[in-house]
Amino acid sequence: MIMDGNKRWADLHGVCLKEGYQKGLNKLKEIISVCLEQEIKYLTVYALSAENMKRVSVSTIFDIIIKQSKKIIEEFNFNNNVRVAIIGEKKKIPQIIKKEFLKIEKITQNNKKLKLNIAFNYGTDVEILEIVKQIASSYGNRKKEITQALLKKHMYLYGSPDPDLLIRTGGFQRLSNFILLNISYTEIFFTKTLWPDLSKIELLKIFDKFYKIERKYGL
């Protein structure tokens, strides 16, 4: 799920950017609840792209994470619901943020109902580079056949199935470098609704449309 529209929502409502991001975080909690109700096992969300990592406004996101990490853990961990995994390039993330991410991942690691992958400082091109580096580092000069299985083993979403459905909010009809290695046959839905305004009703309507699709693999 590409969560787009927090800044535009803030501008539209005449509030500060931090309030827009906070509204977006609250919406994520709502969407997770819907996914749990629908017994969806995997949810991958695009929280921050590698390109947007360069923006000054990213400090606002860091501030929210630092101040609300404990509350986020409590909500995700309630009744052993949500296991969190942070995917993306972590070397350039501030140490204090990495520490909070590690804490969230560790505390929720045994939760069973929903696997939540949060793409943070993520870009497909960066992921490809990391895959190549890992394979080169692991095997060095030893001959190793490069297979599809080997590539998948080093992908960020290894252990999670490729998404069946991708939703992008905010009105733009582009994928913005999001998990392109994993969405070859994913059904894609675009909505003009800004992320903070995405309702349970609209989400369930999208699910209903998806369930009626006759899935085909090939042209």
The amino acid at residue 202 is E
Whole-number pLDDT of residue 67: 87
4 a catalytic residue: yes
For residue 10, which of 60, 62, 80 has the smallest C-alpha distance? 60
Catalytic residue among 11, 26, 52, 79: 52
Which segments of 78-197 does DSSP mark as H helices, in order? 95-108, 124-139, 148-153
In order of their start, the domains of the chain are 6-211 (3.40.1180.10)
And the tokens for 90? 């972590």
Whole-number pLDDT of residue 141: 66
Calpha distance 49→6 (Å, rounded): 14
Residue 125: partners with Cβ closer than 8 Å, 6 or more residues away:
50, 177
52 a catalytic residue: yes
Whole-number pLDDT of residue 146: 83
Angle between helices 58-77 and 17-37 (to 10 degrees): 30
And the tokens for 88? 């993306």
Whole-number pLDDT of residue 115: 96
Residue 51: partners with Cβ closer than 8 Å, 6 or more residues away:
123, 177
Whole-number pLDDT of residue 137: 85
Catalytic residue among 4, 6, 81, 121: 4
Q: From first to last of its 219 residues, what are the pLDDT tens digits of the chain?
A: 999 999 999 999 999 999 999 999 999 999 999 999 999 999 999 999 999 988 888 999 999 998 887 887 777 776 678 999 999 999 889 999 999 999 999 999 999 899 999 999 999 999 999 999 988 888 766 777 888 899 999 999 999 999 999 999 999 999 999 999 999 999 999 999 999 999 999 999 999 999 999 988 877
For residue 117, which of 126, 130, 105 has the smallest C-alpha distance? 105
